[in-house]
Structure 1
Amino acid sequence: MSDAVTHFAPPFRPQLAAVGVFGSALVTLGVFLSGFVIAEPAPYEVFMAGLIGMWAIFGLRISRNVAPLLALLLTFNIGGMLSLTVMTDMADGPIYIAVSLFLALSAVFFAAIIEARPQRLQLIFRAWVASALITSLLGILGYFHAFPGSEAFTLYDRAKGAFQDPNVFGPFLVAPSLYLMHGLLAGRLLGAPLKIVGVVILALGVFLSFSRAAWALYLFSVVALVFVMLLKERTAVFRLKILTLSICAAGAMVVALVFALQSSAVSNLFSSRTQLVQEYDGGHLGRFDRHRIGFLMSMEKPLGIGPMVFSTMFPEDEHNIWLKSLTTYGWMGFLSYLTLAIWTFAAGFQSLLRDRPWQPYLMISFLTFCGHTAVGFVIDTDHWRHLYLLIGVIWGCRALELRHNRPRHDGERP
């Protein structure tokens, strides 16, 4: 993907070029920081809030192609603000909605800067890979107590890397894994060994998170990636290459997992986590019972019940993004989120197999987004920073596609 977007460069102007390079470097740093969220507010929030504010002052342009994303996310958050009005004790409710609004603006920001300079796609994903490798290694080393204080990177005997929750740590590693796998399958064989090592590190991090949602997300995304690449590239040589490298990568991951399972602690926890329905899922007021009761309750609460109120009424949080959108953002928020999910899916699917410079990035983001949408039925993804990054990438690629397809006058650049 090294030559992915080079022919979209604008006319060269030294001053603008220098500003663009500096801005892209800041974006790269911001994405890199997304892998380190041990405490809140994390460095990512502080840095990105300043970057978005600075970019807005100096000319962040929201085109008509990105404007629907802004409108949907603002409507979603207005629903959240209205839900605050029904709370008897707001407590941390306003802060929760403020974080939601920041993440919404971050998605719009990424979409806008990708449309303005598609070369940033490569920088974004390389920064994401670097961040994922470091946080995955921290989780792996922490799990095996490789150095004093390493337990800071685990929670409940599960790897969490530089995150607060293993259930966020695992899914964060999936898109970078797909990026490395795509480079492995579509790139030169010379760089294959390093990519395989990277894939194994990330796969082991996902495994040691012991998050069933992350496992399902990873498996779905990898299989879908290989399937889509086989659909797009139909030559026998390419298919043989994909088959051979897929077997090698799968073999390396199996060896790594077998090695990890030699530990009795890993083996016992793996045996426990592979049960499809845990006691806290199917028991009285378990996950699924709370879903049923929560949806029935939400039918009588058009404004919702407010952020983090659900956990004061039931043993745990909603653990369902659709129920979360109803309880925290009301009917308005639910409809906005549903529309956003459908529109984002349609935008990605329509361009999935088109021969475009940005197609690999769109494919990786789209497949990972689909997986996140599915696991959202059993887990809250509301404040997952990387999910908003995925949405921003898809909408940025959608904007590029619309710009690419519009009628042009003679002499106009594509």
Structure 2
Amino acid sequence: MADDRRAPPMPNRAAIGHLGSLLLGLGVFLSGFVISEPAPYELLMVAQVALWFLFGLRISRAVAPLLVLLMAFNIGGMLAVTMLQDILTEQALYVAVSVFLALTAVFYAAIIEDRHQRLSMIFQAWVAAALITGMLGILGYFHAFPGAEMFTRYDRAMGAFQDPNVFGPFLVAPALYLLHGLLKGGLVGAPLRGLGLLILVLAVFLSFSRAAWGLFLFAAMALVFVMLLKERTNAFRLKILLLSIAAVATMVVALVGALQTEKVRSLFETRAQLVQDYDGGHMGRFERHRAGFVLAMERPLGIGPMMFGRIFPEDEHNIWLKSLMTYGWIGFVSFIALIASTIAIGFRLLLRDRPWQPYLMIGWVTLLGHILVGTVIDIDHWRHFYLLLGIVWGCAALEMRHNSRLRTQTGLPRVP
């Protein structure tokens, strides 16, 4: 007699993949809301990373170097902790967060390589988070409702973040995404993109973060320059130039309007000074940098997380010095290798005509800007910095897979 029992139906792989992509978008969205730690972002991403790899997400040969470099960086941090006489809970937690953020970069790279269409969801979720947290920062700055001051610090907009200096740079990549869509897209979506861009630019301005100001100006000009290099027709280049001029003029008018407020104008005049008292004064930022690099020669394994601010008046405020102090020379060399390889890989692939090229362009330009501002600010635990690393390496992995597929189909030699 035949056995009528049947195996239970297997879950629909397409449905699981769709659900996973939605969770990915939710994770990116939550990166814009870090009022307290651990934030919802950490809780969701810990579970999500574990589940994705459990259900078969793999680390390819193209992504493996990113994992190796980030792990070497964090091994330096673990060795630096051994230099402490007493390891505090917050210092152990700092090391744990560093490892977690490194894994998120690898996760983003792997998930992008698995399916390049996820790049669109990542940037759309990032834009949604930026617009909401940006509006919170703007409303908070102008005290638009009772309790709105919780979204400001030191009379500076910070949105749903703990620091205006993180809030401002978080908004730059979404702003570039909207700018790219404004320059490359049609007229139908232009008004909404333009409005979103104005909101983000105003929020960046009201953060009164000089690093964010410089980052946005550099990244916006670099993006337009790269687009001009990529596009071959004079008509399209003219369109980009005209729209860029119009966008700049609109933003200038909006900022001039904001400067009519005495509170805004006063703080702008203070923050616009290139060198503040805490930069060039006795044991200011620059003098601490010099003293810190001298100390690194005496302590090759580093001094451990959060120890620099106990020796000197304030923290490092420099990603290179931070690497030396918190991760030792092992971490410092690993970080330099990571940044150099990431910038080189992205630059080599920047102008290739691929479906993921616009996302690579935006991610690479923004990442390069972050490295530049890292000389005056600490970007070590910025969640979106690791997202940018994942985007660049994920796109590089897509390119490698694309070339491999072409060789298989056509028998052509490897594309360099």
Matches within 5 A, 1:163-178: 163-178=161-176
Q: Distance in 2 between matches of 1:333 and 1:87?
A: 17
User: Corresponding residue for 2:30?
Assistant: 33
Matches for 1:213-224 after TM superposition, within 5 Å: 213-224=211-222
Gaps of 5+ in 2: 1-9, 412-416
Q: Does 1:18 align with 2:15?
A: yes
Which deviates further from its counterpart, 154-163 or 16-25?
16-25
What secondary structure, in the 3-state scheme, does the structure 2 residue paired with 1:163 have?
coil
Amino acid at match of 1:245: L
Partner of 1:151: 149
Cα distance, 1:180–1:14 mapped onto 2, change above 3 Å = farther
The amino acid of 2:296's aligned partner reads S
Matched, 1:409 2:408: yes
Match of 2:68 among 56, 71, 84: 71
Give distance in 2, aligned partners of 1:253 and 1:232. Answer: 25
Give the one of 79, 82, 86 matched to 1:85. 82
In structure 2, how many angstroms separate the alpha carbons of the residues matched to 1:198 and 1:326?
Answer: 39
Structure 2: how far apart are the matches of 1:55 and 1:342?
29
Q: Which whole-Å CA distance do the structure 1 matches of 2:388 and 2:279 have between them?
A: 28
Describe the SS at the equivalent of 2:301: coil
Partner Cα separation in structure 1 for residue 408 and residue 332 of structure 2: 42
Q: Which moved more, 1:402-411 or 1:18-27?
A: 402-411
Aligned with residue 191 of structure 1, among 143, 164, 189: 189
1:338 maps to what in 2?
336
What CA distance in whole angstroms lies between the structure 1 residues aligned with 2:207 and 2:408? 53
What residue in structure 1 maps to residue 235 of structure 2? Answer: 237
Distance 2:314 2:86 in 1: 19
Q: Can you give the 5+ residue segments of structure 1 that lack an aligned partner in the other structure?
A: 1-12
Cα deviation per residue 1:291-344 (whole Å; 9 max; x = unaligned)?
000001101111100000000001100000000000000010001000000000
What residue identity is the alignment partner of 1:62?
Answer: I
- Following superposition, the deviation at residue 35 of structure 1 comes to 0.2
Matches within 5 A, 1:15-414: 15-91=12-88, 92-406=90-404, 408-410=407-409
Please give the secondary structure, in 1, of the residue aligned with 2:353. coil
Cα separation, 1, equivalents of 2:353 and 2:408: 23
CA–CA separation in structure 2 for the residues paired with 1:175 and 1:116: 22
- Aligned equivalents of 1:17, 1:300: Cα separation in 2: 56
| SS of 2:12 mapped into structure 1 | helix
Give the C-alpha shift of residue 234 in structure 1: 2.6
Q: Deviations over 1:345-384 (max 9, x none)?
A: 0110000111111000000000000000000000000000
Pair 1:332–1:247, CA change in 2 (3 A): same
Shift of 1:57: 1.6
What CA distance in whole angstroms lies between the structure 1 residues aligned with 2:102 and 2:244?
36
Q: Secondary structure at the match of 1:38?
A: coil
Range with greater deviation from structure 2 (371-380 or 246-255): 246-255
Q: What amino acid is aligned across from residue 298 of structure 2 in structure 1?
A: E
User: TM (normalized to structure 2)?
Assistant: 0.94
CA distance in 2, matches of 1:46, 1:293: 38
One-letter amino acid of the counterpart of residue 87, structure 1: L
**Structure 2 CA distance, aligned partners of 1:334 and 1:211?**
26
Task: Give the corresponding residue for 1:9.
Answer: none
For 2:407, what is the secondary structure of its paired residue? Answer: coil
**What TM-score comes out, normalization by structure 1 length?**
0.95
- CA–CA distance in structure 1, aligned partners of residues 193 and 378 of structure 2: 31
User: Partners in 2 of 1:70 and 1:284 — Cα distance?
Assistant: 40
* 1:324 counterpart letter in structure 2: K
1:92-120 superposed Cα distances (whole Å, 9 cap, x missing partner)? 21100000000000000000000001110
| Higher CA-based Rg | 2
Rounded Cα–Cα distance in structure 2 between residues aligned with 1:409 and 1:130: 40
Deviation track 1:28-63 (CA, whole Å, cap 9, x = no partner) reads: 000000000000101101111111111122112000
Provide the rounded CA distance (Å) in 2 between the counterparts of 1:241 and 1:20: 39
Cα deviation for residue 411 of structure 1 reads 9.0
- Three-state SS of the structure 2 residue aligned to 1:299 is helix
Q: Which runs of 4+ in 1 moved over 4 A?
A: none
Q: Distance in 2 between matches of 1:342 and 1:63?
A: 20
Q: Secondary structure at the match of 1:270?
A: helix
Letter in 1 for 2:203: G
